């Protein structure tokens, strides 16, 4: 199951991507390649026949992969992480690439150009990237109108974050930070299948430090309560396995019935705990946070600690970080994750990676006697 030769023979699009497309894209600046890929997907979505072709090429369906989380039904547990389609421009084709769900954003109350360029870097030795985008997006009002027109097949999540006004922006007051989230939620919650409140983005000023203060999560959720939010809400928090911090997040979220779970963000910067083959002298010239295989161990530790402490009838975990194959996905599921997201794997493996993960994940579930994904969640501890 793990051999590249077998995978590429069974998934010709993957072989085509890794032998040709990736070589071309990797000769181009990383952000330009990302932008052109989104535009290609947006254009493909305008062609009447493209979604059907995409489904035939990239979709893998099986009853063992179907799952229900926070009252939502998913055809499979593998979703697209926020950060890939920041403003929902390519949603029509993304809905047909085999993902069980797509998360858009991060979206902020006001449009943002993000951080200065360059702000996206590849680390081929580590099968990773360094991201310092700083949350560029078209703003909540524009994106909400765009999503309102979408009639999709699978759940769509909207990732909400505080507006990044740039590295030289003045410090925001508490009320300004809270008000920014409140405005975005007010504009988008009607169109989301779920909301992800990004409380810990490592690459923008303001919000991430604010929510490290005890009581700050509760303050935000209190201000959101009057909206009568009917979709499930997840909280994206700092990847800190410290039990005190995890229990604080759980305690502050618990009184609010619309909060249904958690997700861990990327770690800030490039902590020494990450095992990186890329020399530190090279990394010093790449501002931002690491995404990909090097963060897998940290995220797995966080998932384990959260799952063991949270009320499981009340909350679920969405996980991302270093998922490149079914074994990576299955490990996170067995540690307690109900849903998974990928991003970096698409850069290195291409869109066929979604189909491969789903097919091989089904084989793992059947091997271990599980009838569906939900039965495998947290089984590492039973």
| Confidence (pLDDT) at 165 | 86
Between strands 289-292 and 316-320, the pairing is unpaired
| Confidence (pLDDT) at 257 | 97
**Would you call 141 exposed, middle or buried from its count of C-beta atoms within 10 A (0-12, 13-18, 19+)?**
middle
pLDDT over threshold 50, residue 2? no
Mean pLDDT of 300-307: 98
Mean pLDDT of 242-262: 97
Residues in the chain, how many? 382
| Domains in the chain: boundaries | 4-381
Tell me the per-residue pLDDT of 317-354, one tens digit each, with 9 for 90 and over.
Answer: 999 999 999 999 999 999 999 999 999 999 999 999 99
Mean pLDDT of 159-174: 88
pLDDT over threshold 60, residue 314? yes
pLDDT over threshold 90, residue 201? no
| Confidence (pLDDT) at 3 | 40
DSSP 379: G
Task: Identify the band that residue 207 occupies on the pLDDT scale cut at 50, 70 and 90.
Answer: low
**pTM of the predicted model, to two decimals?**
0.94
| Confidence (pLDDT) at 206 | 54
| Confidence (pLDDT) at 382 | 84
Tell me the per-residue pLDDT of 28-53, one tens digit each, with 9 for 90 and over.
Answer: 999 999 999 999 999 999 999 999 99
Task: Identify the band that residue 208 occupies on the pLDDT scale cut at 50, 70 and 90.
Answer: low
The phi, psi pair for 129, rounded to 5°, reads -135, 165
| Confidence (pLDDT) at 374 | 98
Average pLDDT, the chain: 94
Tell me the per-residue pLDDT of 12-26, one tens digit each, with 9 for 90 and over.
Answer: 666 788 889 999 999
pLDDT over threshold 70, residue 293? yes
Q: Which residue has the tokens 């090097």?
A: 294
pLDDT over threshold 90, residue 70? yes
| Confidence (pLDDT) at 168 | 79
pLDDT over threshold 60, residue 218? yes
| Confidence (pLDDT) at 177 | 94
- Mind giving me the DSSP string for 87-127? TSSSHHHHTTSS-SEEEEEEE-SS-B--SPSP-EEEEGGGT
Mean pLDDT of 222-229: 97
The structure tokens listed for 114 are: 């993000």
Cis peptide before 118 (omega within 30 of 0): yes
| Confidence (pLDDT) at 21 | 92
**In the chain, % of residues over pLDDT 70:** 95
Tell me the per-residue pLDDT of 123-159, one tens digit each, with 9 for 90 and over.
Answer: 999 999 999 999 999 999 999 999 999 999 999 999 9
Mean pLDDT of 248-275: 96
Mean pLDDT of 311-322: 97
User: 144-149, long-range: CB within 8 Å, 24+ apart, which pairs?
Assistant: 144/187, 144/188, 144/191, 146/87, 146/88, 146/89, 146/91, 147/88, 147/91, 147/104, 147/188, 147/191, 147/192, 148/190, 148/191
CATH architecture of 4-381: Alpha-Beta Barrel (3.20)
Q: How far apart are CA 207 and CA 179, in angstroms?
A: 11
Q: Which residue has the tokens 């066929």?
A: 352
Task: Identify the band that residue 5 occupies on the pLDDT scale cut at 50, 70 and 90.
Answer: very low
């Amino acid at each position: 199951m793990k051999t590249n030769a077998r995978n590429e023979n069974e998934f010709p699009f993957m072989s085509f991507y890794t032998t040709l497309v990736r070589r071309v894209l990797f000769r181009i600046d990383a952000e330009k390649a990302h932008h052109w890929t989104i535009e290609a997907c947006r254009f493909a979505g305008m062609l009447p026949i493209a979604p059907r072709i995409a489904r035939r090429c990239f979709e893998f369906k099986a009853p063992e992969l179907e799952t229900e989380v926070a009252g939502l039904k998913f055809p499979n547990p593998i979703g697209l992480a926020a950060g890939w389609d920041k403003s929902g421009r390519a949603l029509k084709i993304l809905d047909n690439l085999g993902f069980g769900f797509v998360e858009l954003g991060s979206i902020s109350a006001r449009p943002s150009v993000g951080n200065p360029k360059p702000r996206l870097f590849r680390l081929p030795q580590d099968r990773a990237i360094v991201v310092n985008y700083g949350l560029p997006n078209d703003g909540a009002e524009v994106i909400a109108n765009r999503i309102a027109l979408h009639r999709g097949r699978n759940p769509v999540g909207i990732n909400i974050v505080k507006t990044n006004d740039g590295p030289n922006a003045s410090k925001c007051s508490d009320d300004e930070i809270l008000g920014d989230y409140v405005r975005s939620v007010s504009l988008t919650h009607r169109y989301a299948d779920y909301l992800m409140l990004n409380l810990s983005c490592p690459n923008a000023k303001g919000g991430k430090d604010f929510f490290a203060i005890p009581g700050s999560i509760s303050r935000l959720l209190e201000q959101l309560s009057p909206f009568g939010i009917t979709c499930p809400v997840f909280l994206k928090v700092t990847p800190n396995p410290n039990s005190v911090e995890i229990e604080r997040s759980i305690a502050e979220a618990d009184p609010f019935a619309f909060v249904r779970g958690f997700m861990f963000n990327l770690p800030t910067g490039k902590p020494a705990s990450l095992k990186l083959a890329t020399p530190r002298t090279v990394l010093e010239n790449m501002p931002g946070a690491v995404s990909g295989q090097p963060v897998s161990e940290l995220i797995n530790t966080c998932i384990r600690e959260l799952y063991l402490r949270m009320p499981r009838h009340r909350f679920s975990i969405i996980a991302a970080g270093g998922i490149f194959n079914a074994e990576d996905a299955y490990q996170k599921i067995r540690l307690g994750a109900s849903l998974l997201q990928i991003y970096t794997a698409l850069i290195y493996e291409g869109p066929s990676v979604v189909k491969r993960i789903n097919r091989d994940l089904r084989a793992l579930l059947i091997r271990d006697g599980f009838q569906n994904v939900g039965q495998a969640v947290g089984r590492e501890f039973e």
